[in-house]
Amino acid sequence: MALSLLFGVHGHQPAGNFPAILEQAHARCYRPFFETLHRYPEFRFSVHFSGGLLEYLGTRFPRDLALLQQMVARGQVELFGAGDCEPVLAAIPHRDRVGQLNAMTARLRRCFRVEPEGAWLTERVWEASVVTALAECGIRYVTVDDYHFACTGKAVAALDGYFTTEEDGRTLDVFPISEQLRYRLPFSPAAEAVAHLEALAGEGRAAAIYFDDIEKFGIWPETWDWVYGKRWLERFIEGVLASPQLRPATYRDFHDSHATRGIVYLPATSYVEMNEWTLPAAAAEAYADLTRREKEAGRYERDKGFLRGGIWRNFFTRYPEANWMHKRMLALSHRLHETAPGRRPPGLTEALYRSQENDAYWHGLFGGIYLPHLRRAVFRQLLEVERGLDAVAPRPAVARYDLDHDGFEELFLCNRRLQAVVGLDGAAGLREFDDYGFRHNYCDVLQRTAEYYARNLHAERRAAAPSSGIASAHDRVSFKHEITAGDLVPDTRPRRSFLDRWTAEGGNVSDVAGYRLEGIDAGRRCATFSAPVGKGSITKRVELEDGRLVVTYALRGLDTGAFSTELNLAFPSCDGFGGRYLLADGTIPGGFGQALDFPPLETVVLDDRELGGGLVLRVSPPAELRARPHFTVSRSEAGFERIMQGTAITLSWGGDGAAGIAVALEAKAD
């Protein structure tokens, strides 16, 4: 009997991605892939595209989407469902899982006139809690990695079919994706890949199971020339079709013609690389060293199911910014669903679903928490939901609770135009500063975090290619930017705004970190804090007015010294041409990406052309201003890169210190 090749591809582009990247992805991957597969109607395969990418292709490139529609209509392609906006289903509430799955099914029904029976799990993140929502929405089977099964003690040789799991009395079938195939396709020569499949057929295997990112077929480094220029995809398809031992099939074909291999219960996990990425730097390094030793000893393939890394939700513990976005999303989901359907403004459910898109919540070789434009897209949707709900069910002007479960409460001050969130952790810094008109969070600045892969920065600048084929992005070390040692030093405190310091006369610098909340005036939307400093004290008052935030300080009983406060602010242009400083006389001394120092001044405008406005910074008395771009270093499939996260502005008052200081951030629209 011929071996069934279950070949599936998954396509997704994150919301907020730059148009040029989408155009390139289409030209180098989606169009040539569709055009190639369309010429081989006998090659049956499965496809999942996220809802946003399907919408983009249908609007921007309808001719190419028509090719996919034709392949679906003639039975060549099976379409998989999923959460419409590509969420990690395990990380969102059950009600939203059901809503997202049904939204994708409705999209496929409208566009292709089909009902999906299979579903793609974003990043193959598995938790048993997702079973009930998938079953409730009519999904019969999903794909995860064979590593999930190895963690239960299953032998890889037995993973040539599907298994059945259950949760709360609901059942779901689960296909194990072959890790070996993920690393072979399309990186090994086509003839070798076909020969590998034929060898599996010779062992009596029923199926070879593959489902992975379509972007490997043209977007990853070197793959466009390899897959299309050197005709890898054509050679592979033709080799499969010519082999009497192989039969390309859809997952539905196989599911309808084969029985389950039995019951299985999978642990909470993802693919093996993700489990490493979720770990903090020291643990990830230890895990990587352990797996390396096991590979060198020849035990890894046998024992890898017992070498467990972390789980996907660890990203919420690794990155406070991811945890903050996630808990903001959960709170707004609850608030939206507590609002009667008839009172909900149109579009808010869709905005909530878009805020649940996975990309900005994690980081590995692909995740995007390091990319400001992806986090900005999440906050844009969150603020759209919040603004809409405030219009029909206004919140209290002041609220106090521990949103992110870090052991410290936050103070929320809001009005119709702005919102300020102050951390009650002793620093009294701004965790979030929102402009509802722009739907922008000016405090969305990622702190520099230790990453275990930094130790590879001075390794070979490019991994050696295999003796035949090309190197996978997992095996490459390359650089997009010049990286220095200083770029890798982790921050010692979060990148918030209004973080205060006192410099004593002798030069001893100390953070003002002992602020206690002294009082709240809900009518004025303000809070007062006080902290002891040396023999004196500092009183800090945070007040939200109609279109501006005002922070005032009263310094009492302090010895001679200097006071400073640091503002970490995020703008869409980052270090691009559109972000600049404007002085009171109309001059432009430079952009956000430059290091600038100003003598004492009272007013500077932080203007961003992409945003269409910005902030007016006013200080009294005049302050020295030091501005520095804040960069982080991260790794992607394209290599190590420096990314500007925001601008760090330090305001300083020297001499004997001013007894009274006022700093205002005023929202400005063009």
Active site residue ranges = 123, 213
DSSP string, 590-620: EETTS-EEEEEEEEEEEEETTTTEEEEEEEE
Helix-strand-coil split of the chain, %, nearest 5: 35, 30, 35
* Spatial separation of the C-alpha atoms in residues 291 and 273, rounded to whole Å: 11
Picking from 65, 47, 44, the residue whose alpha carbon sits closest to that of residue 56 is 65
What are the residues facing 532 on neighbouring strands?
537
Tokens 């390359």 correspond to what residue? 478
* Spatial separation of the C-alpha atoms in residues 174 and 163, rounded to whole Å: 5
* Spatial separation of the C-alpha atoms in residues 651 and 585, rounded to whole Å: 20
621: which 2 tokens? 């008395």
| 540 CB-contact burial (10 Å; exposed 0-12 / middle 13-18 / buried 19+) | buried
Picking from 139, 143, 142, the residue whose alpha carbon sits closest to that of residue 117 is 139
DSSP letter, residue 493: S
**H helices then E strands: how many in the chain?**
19, 27
Distance of CA 409 to CAs 20, 401, 430, 586, Å? 41, 5, 13, 41
H/E run at residue 97: helix 94-112
Total Cβ atoms within 10 A of residue 547 = 17
* Spatial separation of the C-alpha atoms in residues 340 and 335, rounded to whole Å: 10
| 256 CB-contact burial (10 Å; exposed 0-12 / middle 13-18 / buried 19+) | exposed
Are the C-beta atoms of residues 60 and 26 closer than 8 Å to each other?
A: yes
Are the C-beta atoms of residues 537 and 591 closer than 8 Å to each other?
A: no
DSSP letter, residue 203: T
Distance of CA 266 to CAs 128, 150, 260, 312, 587, Å? 7, 9, 15, 15, 62
What are the residues facing 662 on neighbouring strands?
552, 620
DSSP string, 408-442: S-EEEEE-SSEEEEEETTTT--EEEEEETTTTEET
Are the C-beta atoms of residues 569 and 606 closer than 8 Å to each other?
A: yes
57: which 2 tokens? 């292709």
* Spatial separation of the C-alpha atoms in residues 653 and 634, rounded to whole Å: 35
Cβ-Cβ contacts under 8 Å for 214 (sequence gap 6 or more): 9, 10, 11, 29, 30, 33, 47
The C-alpha R_g of the chain, in whole angstroms, comes to 27
